[in-house]
A and B are shown apart, each in its own frame.
Chain A
Amino acid sequence: MSSTQANYFAGAFDPKQLRRSILAMAKAGNAVHIGCSFSLVEILAVLHRDFLRYPGNDPDHPQRDYLALSKGHGVMAQYACMLERGWLDDSHVARYFSDGSALMGLSDSRTQGLEVTSGSLGHGFSVALGLALAAKRSGSQQRTFCIIGDGESNEGPIWEGALLAAQHKLANFITIVDENGLQAMGSTADIMDLGAMEAKFASFGFEAAVVDGHDETALHAALTRFCDGQDPRPKALIAKTVKGKGVSFMENNNAWHYSRLTDETFAQANRELED
């Protein structure tokens, strides 16, 4: 696939706007996982703006790049990007979680723009590897981006898959670890310390790097190195993030894994996200 401009969507993917969209959905649906979504906003913004190629902005185009949100808990951030692409509209936001609505609280492959069904963790990573393997076998230039969580990396299939990715030199496979340091019940360091993820992935045979996951310039530079380089290894970008990033009372507060918005917290969060 060519890298012509027509494959990219000319959207701003402004992080503040994306976070406001997440808040609107979460409020409409009385949804949880706001903190999980906020930590990967800049990652998704950079991917959608500059790396994901959807010819004709078609989420089902057979030659699209794949975005597998293995960390399904952050799905509202992807919905916010899909809203900007026009794959969703305001009615989806207003009707979020209402009876008979299609958008689930975790990534569901039946929704255009979501490649994998996840939330039961460690699944999307393996499916994404299969997509990358299929593209490589077919001689396609499609890339597969797979976002996993650090909590998710407790799951065995992540490491089974890492072995396979390296064994088959899936250079077209780029995993991004949303390393916010928190998982459902507390800090990853206290629950299941992952240590140095960059070193772990490197030891599994990946080209690995660490980046500030909220610094769009740094994310862009790191992903450009991965995509433009000639290194045959699969890629792992460890994105150091903050759960709940963007709203002061949510940042690093694991309560926002499960908390729901009130009228008051909704208004307060929106005020912090004003332009």
Chain B
Amino acid sequence: MREVFSKFLVDLAKKDERFILLTGDHGYALFDELRRACPDQYLNCGVAEQNMVGVAAGLARGGYRPFVYGLAAFIPTRVVEQIKLDIAHDGLPVVLFGDGAGFVYSTLGTSHQCAEDIACSRAIAGLDVYSPCDDVEMAWALERAYAGQRPSYIRIGKADVGAVHAQPMGPDAAGLCPLAGASNQPLALVATGSMVALARDLAAEVPASIAAYSLPLIKPLPEAALIALAQRHQAVVTLEEHSVFAGMGSAVCEALSEAAPLPIKRVGIADRYSKYCGSYAYLREEHGLTLAQVRQVVQDFSQRQGLALAG
């Protein structure tokens, strides 16, 4: 996913002289090729995220196409107000990236872990929010954000959990992607970002009972596709490496409670911080987000809903 991101930036820099990448002194090797090929289109704004976002807004006003890179703990979380006032308020075509969302920085503790970025960003009027899960969704999100010329936030979580999509997504894809085998099973898993591969694997265990979907577009939410989903299935479990408060699952609940109510269980990060550090896998387990733990949650929820899960 990061390679797709990096290559997209280089290709865009060569194609569009208005493109400029701004980073708050983050990215390390990610921008090596961009800096080599198009050094004038790379701007390290220093460890100063608030100013960087304002500068990006000014550059956009002056005709440029800024892409702003940071860690999700900082972009958008630290700079919510700059995104709101300086960028989204005027619909400026600035694309923001929050890397390392969730528990990617598993050993660095609370300052670098991020469970709040979807909640922060989707409340900002006029800001699109993406959460791609693999190379295909990342390429789709990048193209859509660039071509749409709208304020956009792209969340980058754990990036190496493997490919989910076998085929590219067309530019008109709905933003809700049924994964292989999804039809009208009783239960639907709707996952985003780093949780999509797990949802796929869980569904594959009981393919007659569970359908899996990826939701890379969190705002504007593909409501029509979600309503259709609600009409095909009897219950939904949402999965995200983000707070269960005001994240993707909440967005799905908001949309479906009005238009097509059905039981929904939100799986995500509970109302607490990581207590210890360790590997990424360790933190996923600490927060109840491993395959075995999610399987148990899904089984318990299905039982309460009177759904029998069988292969």
Residues of A within 8 A of B (CB): 109-110, 115-118, 120, 122-123, 125-135, 137-138, 156-157, 160-161, 163-164, 167
- When distances are taken between beta carbons in the complex, the residues of chain A under 8 Å from B86 are 116-117, 123, 126-127
- When distances are taken between beta carbons in the complex, the residues of chain A under 8 Å from B263 are none
- The answer on a CB contact under 8 Å between B64 and A157 is no
B54 at the binding interface (Cβ < 8 Å): yes
Nearest 3 Cβ contacts at the A-B interface: A130-B58, A134-B62, A126-B54
- When distances are taken between beta carbons in the complex, the residues of chain B under 8 Å from A137 are 40, 62, 64
CB within 8 Å of A: which B54-96 residues: 54-64, 81-82, 85-86, 89-90
Q: How many residue-residue contacts, CB under 8 A, span A and B?
A: 93
Q: Which one of A117, A135, A138 lies within 8 Å of B85 (CB-CB)?
A: A117
> What are 18 A-B pairs at a CB distance below 8 A?
A115-B61, A117-B89, A120-B85, A125-B54, A127-B58, A129-B58, A130-B60, A130-B62, A133-B55, A133-B59, A134-B58, A134-B64, A135-B62, A138-B63, A157-B50, A161-B48, A161-B51, A163-B48
B45 at the binding interface (Cβ < 8 Å): yes
Scoring B40, B52, B53, B55 by chain A CB atoms within 10 A of each residue's CB, the highest score goes to: B55
The answer for the CA separation of A118 and B90 in the assembled complex, in Å, is 13
Tell me the nearest residue of chain A to B44, going by C-beta.
A167
Q: Give the dominant DSSP class at A's interface.
A: helix
The distance from the CB of B20 to the nearest CB of chain A, in whole angstroms, is 8
- The answer on a CB contact under 8 Å between A134 and B54 is no
Q: Mark B212-223, 1 if CB is under 8 A from A, else 0.
A: 000000000000
- The answer on a CB contact under 8 Å between A130 and B54 is yes
- When distances are taken between beta carbons in the complex, the residues of chain A under 8 Å from B168 are none
The answer for the CA separation of A231 and B170 in the assembled complex, in Å, is 52
B46 at the binding interface (Cβ < 8 Å): yes
The answer for the CA separation of A115 and B51 in the assembled complex, in Å, is 17
- The answer on a CB contact under 8 Å between B59 and A164 is no
The answer for the CA separation of A77 and B176 in the assembled complex, in Å, is 50
The answer for the CA separation of A138 and B60 in the assembled complex, in Å, is 13
Q: Which one of A122, A130, A156, A161 lies within 8 Å of B61 (CB-CB)?
A: A130
